[in-house]
Copies of this chain bind each other. A is one copy, B any other.
Amino acid sequence: MEERGCSREEVISFLSGVRAEDVHHDHILSSMCTIPHPIAIAVQEMFCATNLGDPGLFPGTMKIEDLLIKSLGDLMHLGSAGGYATSGGTESNLQAIRIAKKQRPDAKHPNIVVPASAHFSFDKTCDMLGLEMRVAPYGKDYMVDTEKMAELVDANTIAVAAVAGTTEYGMVDDVQTIAKIAKEHDCFCHVDAAFGGLVIPFLERPIPFDFAVAGVDSISLDPHKMGLSTIPCGCLLLREQEMLGCLNVDTPYLTVKKQCTLAGTRPGADVAGAYAVIRYLGREGFSSMVAGCMENTRRLVAGMEACGFSRVVDPVMNVAAFSGGGCVPEGWKVSHTRDGHLRFVLMPHVTRDVVERFLADVARG
């Protein structure tokens, strides 16, 4: 750290220069995050000094967190759902599995059964909680094979997870069957809808994945992905608010006496931003945004196939994966799945113009 400070102009100019080294969003075709909605950005300053970790000081901001959970619970077909705003999908998945573990103190060598598509946050979770992670293989179309999943469940299984909107292929597992398997074995059922939670409800033909499915205990759903909020804002949703009680620790010297969240200090600004977007767009706004992303996804698929690539699955969401074909033109950020397929995420910043420019580059070879 330097002895002397710099002027405001020097600091801003330095940071602008470094920021310019980042890849421009016009070339990012691989991310599940996007440019936040202007209304999420507009409320940052108003809430920048708020800390949801000490709710007695910020009862107004806490009310907004409650409204955010209520709106999302409602979207997940359970207006009475509990939960809280997390730092993202990893914390949501971790906390859900912690709850599952607390409910099963009898399990001597606890394990969880997850789909092959499960996000790496489950690796972190199992590492921290000392759980065995049993991975059920893919069946048709990169959805988990539920029969093989059922075979992996045993008396030590504390939770079964499904993914609604897989990171690699954007597929939605058969949540109804998975929840039934969990129920039959009396274990917890968590749905990782970090990405899909704000896409699937707005598709022309929604797929069952949420609390409307009997047996689903918890859902992770990230506003900082398709909810256009600033980072960090994830949400853990629970069928019953009381399920959080088992995570409580005593919090002397705060305005509340118990805390169930992973973090202590928690940002109000990102939560307010997430709620602002939901309130501003409403279901209609989300539907129209998702429709646009899906149209661009279809256009990308058609364009790529015209250039000799083959779709790996029919996109269910705004994620597309391809095999074969040639190389990806320089300057574009795409990614690859573990199976070596080219992978694209058609976030709102990937506009029709961007898709056309990319396809033109691909066509030029």
Contact = CB atoms under 8 A, between A and B. Distances in A.
Interface of A: 1-8, 10-12, 14-16, 18-23, 25, 28, 30-36, 39-51, 54, 56-61, 63-64, 71-72, 74-75, 87-91, 94, 98, 119-121, 123-124, 127-130, 167-168, 222, 224-225, 230-232, 249-255, 259, 262-270, 272, 275-276, 278-285, 333, 335-338, 343
Given A31-B51, A46-B19, A249-B127, A279 B2 contact: yes
A44 B44 contact: yes
A72 to B, nearest CB: 7
Contacts of A94: 128
A92 to B, nearest CB: 10
Contacts of A16: 46
A58 B23 contact: yes
Contacts of A230: 48, 267, 269
Contact of A168 (B121, B252, B266): B252
B90 A60 contact: no
Nearest to A18: B60
A153 B259 CA distance: 29
Given A41-B48, A266-B231, A31 B2 contact: no
Contact of A5 (B87, B231, B279): B279
B127 A60 contact: no
Contact of A57 (B28, B222, B224): B28
Given A1-B75, A48-B41, A278-B1, A22 B89 contact: no
A338 B88 contact: no
Given A232-B267, A336-B252, A343-B253, A43 B12 contact: yes
Nearest to A128: B128
A66 to B, nearest CB: 10
B1 A264 contact: no
A16 B360 CA distance: 46
B253 A335 contact: yes
Contacts of A167: 253
A1 B282 contact: yes
Nearest to A126: B249
A48 B335 CA distance: 22
Given A22-B50, A51-B33, A231-B266, A8 B280 contact: yes
Contacts of A5: 279-282, 284-285
A167 to B, nearest CB: 6
